[in-house]
Every structure is written in C-alpha cells, then in structure tokens.
Structure 1
C-alpha cells in the first residue's frame, strides 16, 4: 500500500479521526490509516484533497420537490413490451415536467420480502423492473434519490449463504448474540422474535433480526461491512444517485445491554459517510430514515455534520389528526418546538409514503386519548394498524396503514363531503413548510385503499401500494370527470406556485402564528427579506372568520393570495375562510 503523509487538515486525517472514534472499542487487524486509505480507494478520492463543500452549504431551493414511488407503481399496458422503470419515466416526462425535479425510487434491487427492503443483491437492479440503464436514464433528467438499505439484508443473499457456509464475503458480516444475553432494553419496531436460530458450519448461531427473520442485521463492528457499503455508495453515485436515503439507520450499531438504537457509533458512521459522499460528489446529500420520537430524530442533524435532511416523521400523524379533529393545537405546539434547521441541513416533509402513518413520532406530542381517537377514526375509514412489541411483552400501535385520500375522507364525526378539499388543504400546508417536500405518487393521483393487494399480500402496508396499469392512469388523468384528474390538477397548481416563491426556500424563515384552534397559520420570509408569505388555513369543517389585523400585514405593501390570485382588501378587513381553505398571502406575485 502507498504510504501517505497525514496532515492535520487533509481528508485522510479527518477519516482517521472518524474511524478512531467509531472503532476505539473494537480490536482491528488493520491500522486506522490503512482503513482510511482503503475507503478512499473505494470512493476514488485523493488523500490530500478535501473537496467537500464549505460548511453550511446547501444544494437545494424552493424548486425542489421529490416524488416518492416504487419502480413498478406504474406497470406496462397489456401487450406493451416495456419495463416498469421505462413506464415510470414516461409518467415523469409526460405528466410531471416542470413541477417535479427529483424522484425517490424505492428499493429497485432483487429482494425476497418487505417490498424491496430485504435486499438480495445491492449491486443489481431487479430484472422485473429493468436494469441500470433505466435507472441512469431517469437520473439524467431528475435528481435521483435511492435507498441505502444499510441495517440489514435478505436471508437469501449470497452474503448470508456464505455466513452459513463460513467462507467467502459475508461469512463474518452478520451480528449474532446469545439468548442468554441481556436484551431486555432493545428497542424494535416489530413483534417477531429478535434472534433467529441458524445452523451453520460453525454450529448453531443466533442472528439478530430487528425487522423480520428474512432481514438479517449486518455487523458494522466489522470494518469489512463498512468497506462493502462504501463500495456500494460509489456504484450508486456512478449510476446517478444524488440523494442517499439511509434506511433504518437508527438501529445500525448494537451493544449488548443497551437499547441498540441511536447509539453514538451510529451517528459517527453517518458523519463518516457524509464526509466520503460530499468529497465524491459536491451536490450529493444524505437523508436519514429514522421513524422514532421527534427529539431523537432531530439528533441526526448533528452539528450540520451528519444528515443533510431528516424525515419530518411527526408531520403526517399530527396533520391528519388536525384535519380530522378540526383542531390545530397539537400541530401548532409541535411547530413551535421545532428548531429552524441551520444552513447545510433541512427537513424532508411528507404526509404520505409507502409505509403507514407512524405513531412513534408523536409519542410525547399527542396524548394517549388523542392517539386512540385517531386510530379509531382511521379504522372506520378502512385503515389497518401495525404493532410493535415492548420488552414487557405488551404490544403498542406502531403505524396506521391507509391511503391518505381515504384517511382524509371525513372527521372524527364520520365521512363527509369535504374529502377533496381536506386532501388538497393537507398538501397546501405541507408544501409551504420549512423544508423540502416529498409527495407520494399515490397522493399525486389520489389513489384509494387497495384492499385486494393487501389481502393478496397478507401485509397491511400493501393497502397503500397500488399498481396502476399505465393505460388506466392515463385514462383517469385525461378525464375531466375523474377524481384522480381533479387531485392531480390541484396539486400541480400548488407546486407551480410554490417553486417561484423565494419565501418557500427550504431554509427561509418560519414563525408560527396564533389564530385560534380552527385556523392554522405560519409566516415565511425569504432569506433576502424581500418576500413574506402568510400561510393561513381553516382546518375545520365550518367557515371561520379571519381578521386581517390578526396577521399584521404591512399596510404599505399590496397583498395577494397566491393560490386564488385575488388581492386582499386594504385596511382591517374581515375575511371568511370556507372549510379547509388555504391562503398564501404574499407581498410579491411571482
């Protein structure tokens, strides 16, 4: 290996420092300098160069919107010989041009379960979806977000088969424990047994399975595992991935006798990966997927040296709860508690995804009674509940599984005629918040609960993972009487307005307004302070009065609602907000 002179500010010096912190309790048969050199070779980096962007640099703007989709959310029309990834690109090019500039394609690798998150081979594209050329084509036109399923892999992977045989890559990649170990504090999102018995060439082993027995946890105390994932990251960068979603990263590092979640070594590995990724590609970012209580989730920002973005997991349950109760109290209290993200970081906002509406992120935010009422309402609207196990043997609700359009079909009083308005209102709030918005493809087209897919799969999450034949969705979006067309047009209008407003930059100033419990409001101001937008929403099913003096509009400016295009009356006028109406009141029209 080539000897390298280490200077205090060199990239290799910084890598060595990270590695010393991560592995200080782990005996290694390699020096930290040698390991740092190997990581740089894998990422094709020069040891003396540190080409990371300056501190607090952010490569995003108000034009950024991420569409969240499976590679086969749209499947070819019968008789058409195309791969689903080709069909997805048709949808993006034909329907999303000018409104969507980024796309999160959920795991597109060969898999054995969990709709892609039990990865068999991290280096290949699932043949049923397409190949790397299709991924690369999409990445040339849209900023591509890909999953780094870093905590575990499939029990059918070559790595795990080598673990059983005791030879080859993977033979020492998996975390094992004993049933006699102190595991009582381990935090998990599932009810299955934590340890899985496996007969190997070395005898009976108990492998660690945070999620399912088909998803076996990797052992990052072995630096060979780290090296494998750095190599995988380099390949994904070459194929066009620019946003890395670190799936289930909170569970990455294990220590017997601890909770095995959010451990310091996990945070240190995120910092190390950010350093490597930023040096390899200035515009690439990391998003941590940590579906955990809000305070713990925010810790993944570090000091602007860990995740560039964290999922705003508390937003979906709080916003849905607000709209079905007609009361924004809990949403407002949460908003006031959220620190502004410093430059170099921002929030990833979403209100629907391929998973359910998580309930752990509202622990300590919603009362038990409020959570129980939300669950009951969602079940009445056709939703299902997924559970997690406590160390006491009890089970607690982990998430609600339901399509967002159906979740917002009514209130705690039952279904009503405001479902469409409520659904659009939810997105108008989300799109105006500090951060980068992500829109689930089935929200974009107003897809309903898919009970057949859920029953056929045996998994509750499948209720919100419908597959559209492309000719069917084309027909719906082309029909003036279709609810899917109506939803798509409404969201498209909001997106077009949003991308022109500097006050909607992901790091623009945000303050919460106090307008009562039926009106939710907040103020955004552009970073150059030239544009203000007051975002005001009636979250109830009854008309609400709004006194303009309550939002303190500057009288020397002319104010316009960006959504309707209507000018606001001068002076201390009284407006009436119809149910679920949103105003984006701005002093500049763009």
Structure 2
C-alpha cells in the first residue's frame, strides 16, 4: 500500500496548473488506492494503471469548460444542492416528450411550471439498430442517437437547462454494451485485447456451472444468460438480451474506459450520471452474480476519480435489488458517504402499491422501519412509477415479519395489478412470467394501475358510480405523490403522471415494441391532454393543479430536507401509514389513509395541537382522515 508521502508526490500531474484540481487529486487519491488495490492490485502493471488514471483525469480536467468549472465551485460550497426541498425530478424519453433535443428547450417552461429541477432524459446515447431494450443496448457512448439529435444538441440542452436551474440526468449503461459496439466488433474481428473486454467461453462447461445459481432477467424472450456467437465460436455472457454483451470488470481496461466515459458525459454538462445495471457488474461463481463486494469498490473508485475532475457531477446507482442489498449503493462501513450520492428506493415504491392493494399499511411500515438509515451526504430517489416493469421486491423476511407468506403475497400483487383479482381497480399486464420461480412482474402506467383507466371507462359507460370511481382513482394518484414528496430525497414524476395519462395499448401496433409490454406505460406525451391541466373541472387539471401545489408546499417546508431522519411509526391503525421527518430543521409527521374508508389517527404523545400544512386545518389529540387523504402535520 502506498504511503501518505506517495499520495502527495505521485498523484500530482506535472502539467496540472489548477491548484484546486491538484488539491482534489491529493485529497481523494487515498480512496482511489483503497478501492483499486483489492480489485487490480495483483495485476503486473498496477503502477501503470494508476499512471493511466492520472492521465485520464488531467486530460478531462483540461477539457472542462470554464462554465462547468464555475458550477463545480458553486456545488462544492453547497454540497446539499441535490438534497434540498426544491428538488423535483421529471423522467421522460426525449422523442416522446419533445420530439428532438433541439425541440426540448421549448418545453422547459412546462417543466418549470410543474416545479421540476432535475430532468432525466431516458437513454439517448447511440443504440444498436433494431431491438435495443429501450435504448439500453448502446453502440457508442460518445454519440447521440441521430433520431433525436447530436452531441452539440445535447450540450446546448444542458446549457439551456442550467440557465433555468434544471439539472440534466443521463444514462450510462455500464454492465454491458451492444454487440455492435466498437469493442465488440473488434473482438469479433479477432483482437484478443478487446475479446478480453467481455466474458466468453469456448464451450458450455463454464456457462453451465454459472447457470446453476443465475436468475433469468427476461425468461420469456431471452432465457438463459449466455449466447452462442458463431463469429467468435464462443459463448458470450448476455445477462439481458443476446445483443447485450456483459463486460468483464476483472479487466482494468474496462474500468478505465468507463471512467473516461463518465468524465466525457460530465464535461458535456451532465449533472447526474445514472449508472445502469450496476448490480450485475461483477461475477462470482456460486452466487446470483449481483451485489458483489467488488461492485461497491468500483462505484467508490469511480466516485473518487470523477470528483477530481467534475465535483458538480454526482452518481446515481440504478440498482433495483432487495432491501438488504439496496442501502449499500449509497455507501456503508468504510465506504459510507463515498459511493453513489443517489439510489432508487424501489422498496418504497413496491410497498406503496402493496399498501393500496391491501388497504393496509402494516407491511409498508414494517419494511421501511427495517431499512437502515443512509449516509447524510446521500439521498433516495423516490417514485411511484418509472419506465420499467414492477418486480415485487418483497423478501421472505419482510413478509414474515408481519405474518405474510412472501410468495403468496407477490402472487396476490401480480393478480391484483394485472386486474385479475376480484374487486381490483387496476389495469396492468403481466411482464416476464417465470414458471420456474413463479415471478410475474407488472407493466402499466401509474394512472391505470391506480384505477383511473377503469374508472374513466365506467363513467363513460354510464355507470352510476363512475364519478365516485374517478374521484377514488385521482385520490390514489395524489396519495402516491404525497408520499414520494415527503419521504426524503428527490421525488420523481414520470412523464404523463402529472396529468393522469393511462396505458397506451397501441404499443402492440408497433412491430418494434409489440413483444415488450413495458411500452404500455411509455406513451407519447399527449399535449392536447396537457392543455387541460389548467382546467380544474378535468381529471388532468385536478391532478396537475394539486401536484403543483404540493411541490410548492414541499419546497417551502425545510423539515423535509433529505438530511432529515426518516422514521416510519406504528400508527395503531392498520389503514394509516405514519412517517416522521425529524432533524434540526424541525419535525413534520406525515399520515396517510391507504384505504377507501374514512378513519382517524391518534397523535403521538407530546404532539398536542398540530396544523395540517396541506389543508391549513388544526387538530388536537387525533386527526380525521378521509379516504386516501394525506396530512402533513406540524406541531403548534
């Protein structure tokens, strides 16, 4: 292991003229060594690897624009910039929201009207032609899908967003490339250096050993985890689809290549690099090859190195994993506060939907209580719906803690949200049923899963209860948004959810999408519907107006800052979910009735008189809750 003196002498490039850059390099280099020694320290040319990394950093720093360096300085003195209560995320596909990148600045006013300050443009780096897993099969990390624009267009979008106070989020698919990527084509052409970028095998001996413990991500249309590639005369590891080749991170060249891409994106003006499929990056025989310790070392190393060049840019782990594995992506133990700044709280999302289906908050409360607190320098991304299917990440332990059978409960949720359970309000579709494990994931838009699609059809068909059904669906949609807004972190609104857009069943008419029903909840933005957001007599107007009001209320409530402790409380009423936000900024107690029945909530001892920030109503001792009502309570 290097000595402190080496940290100072060896890590400062001779051509580094920027004192701040050199200081960051010296300060963060111990973390680089700490993480890379276990990963690559046994390689014969480990010192050469360190020299390469220093060169990558110096080059990227020299290419960073003055405007972005100024942003670095601002964020270094406001390190909680992404944790503040005025942060609201919006997630969309560029073409489905705006058309092209050059069209997108014309929609910024809409984003600001909603209160968005974080824009995730779904994958837009150049994908392979043909099927590409919604853009997650990348053929070139340094160019933009020509159907939406160019790199210059992307840089201009970043500038325009920054002028309006909106941060740009972009995907980096780091577990795999498309088989059409330059690295893969060179491997196919016979270059052994690039063949070593991927995991491949001459026969089925090793793949069969691996398969014994590997799950299948897409059992319907991409069973197994290996694909025979005739041009190579080898089996290639393909966790997702046969055209997505898994990279081999035991090869330090792969690590360096991805670091260069992270720096490249940061220098385009990307504020948050979303690291896709990170859980799969390291393989270990006899495991499910997810969440291995080396994955966390890689992420910690990338964070330390990228902060040397671009401290204004942060990392987001796309790790949709079980509760016991999830918190690790924000850093634990020696890596606490040194891994990704952001991660998706998929466990919250899943248990919110469970609570609505059960009309019961017990599993939600117990599961949130069991989650460890996260480092104060990190934050969750909270969401009710995004672009992907919903996998019911409910473990045997969490279900058993409240007397449920996990397998039976996951089956119930799949039945309920595909509309097959008696009395279900939902309209969804089963995605990737796995007969071997019984897993059945769910596709469907937030509005349709919350009952709006069925309610609108009932109203249009003359059902005397149609209006009540619409009211209940709108209330469920708003309840979900209440809870993602108050939980802590950055709440995300998926495009169209703010106006209650329902499933797009026409996805099946597109031959490129027909076999993947996730396009059910990836519609094109209906700008005619969006016009009605200003009409309070319409569903669009009711949802948008109230959501915008709640976003503004959150921005004005410092007690909801991401650094505030988040604690689920037993409410004493199974219909009520109670969430305490507690910090030096003060306390707010959020209580939500997850059922269609009126109920009450008894305030905790010592709370006395409270005011509901949402309705401005006062209460003492207990608070009444209408069906699906949420109150944000502050002590008087």
Structure 1 match to 2:587 = 532
1:370, CA displacement in angstroms?
A: 1.8
Q: Does 1:377 align with 2:377?
A: no
Assess if the C-alpha contact under 8 Å between 1:118 and 1:215 holds in 2. Answer: yes
Going from structure 1 to structure 2, the CA distance change for 1:136 and 1:53 (only over 3 Å counts) comes to closer
Q: Does 1:310 align with 2:339?
A: no
**Worse-matched range after superposition: 243-252 or 218-227:** 218-227
Assess if the C-alpha contact under 8 Å between 2:303 and 2:315 holds in 1. Answer: yes
Assess if the C-alpha contact under 8 Å between 1:508 and 1:524 holds in 2. Answer: yes
1:412, CA displacement in angstroms?
A: 13
Going from structure 1 to structure 2, the CA distance change for 1:89 and 1:586 (only over 3 Å counts) comes to farther
In structure 2, C-alpha distance between the alignment counterparts of 1:372 and 1:314, rounded to whole Å: 17
Assess if the C-alpha contact under 8 Å between 2:169 and 2:273 holds in 1. Answer: yes
Structure 2 match to 1:564 = 615
In structure 2, C-alpha distance between the alignment counterparts of 1:398 and 1:169, rounded to whole Å: 40
Going from structure 1 to structure 2, the CA distance change for 1:170 and 1:338 (only over 3 Å counts) comes to same
How many residues align? The count is 561
Assess if the C-alpha contact under 8 Å between 2:499 and 2:544 holds in 1. Answer: yes
Give per-residue Cα distances to partners, 1:457-511, cap 9 Å, x unaligned.
12111111001254x2443435544322322112111101001111110111223
In structure 1, C-alpha distance between the alignment counterparts of 2:217 and 2:27, rounded to whole Å: 40
Q: Does 1:404 align with 2:446?
A: yes
In structure 1, C-alpha distance between the alignment counterparts of 2:74 and 2:438, rounded to whole Å: 43
Q: 2:138 aligned to 119, 126, 135, which one?
A: 119
Structure 1 match to 2:630 = 582
Kindly indicate which of the two structures has a greater share of residues assigned to helix.
2
Structure 2 residues not aligned, in runs of 5+: 1-6, 12-24, 64-71, 400-405, 420-425, 459-465
Q: Does 1:435 align with 2:466?
A: no
Structure 1 match to 2:18 = none
CA RMSD of aligned residues (A): 3.1
Q: Does 1:500 align with 2:556?
A: yes
1:388, CA displacement in angstroms?
A: 6.8
Give per-residue Cα distances to partners, 1:255-310, cap 9 Å, x unaligned.
34443222222111101100012222223211111111111111222222111122
Assess if the C-alpha contact under 8 Å between 2:213 and 2:286 holds in 1. Answer: yes
In structure 1, C-alpha distance between the alignment counterparts of 2:394 and 2:78, rounded to whole Å: 27
1:9, CA displacement in angstroms?
A: 5.4
What pairs with 1:197-212 in structure 2 (closer than 5 Å)? 197-200=228-231, 203-212=232-241
1:52, CA displacement in angstroms?
A: 13
TM (norm. structure 2) is 0.81
Going from structure 1 to structure 2, the CA distance change for 1:36 and 1:124 (only over 3 Å counts) comes to closer
TM (norm. structure 1) is 0.87
Give per-residue Cα distances to partners, 1:137-172, cap 9 Å, x unaligned.
332321111111101111222222221112498443
Structure 1 match to 2:598 = 543
1:514, CA displacement in angstroms?
A: 2.2
Assess if the C-alpha contact under 8 Å between 2:453 and 2:503 holds in 1. Answer: no
Structure 1 match to 2:188 = 164
Structure 2 match to 1:59 = 81
Structure 1 match to 2:10 = 6
1:27, CA displacement in angstroms?
A: 5.3
Structure 1 match to 2:96 = 73
Structure 1 residues not aligned, in runs of 5+: 76-82
1:132, CA displacement in angstroms?
A: 2.6
What pairs with 1:311-330 in structure 2 (closer than 5 Å)? 311-330=344-363
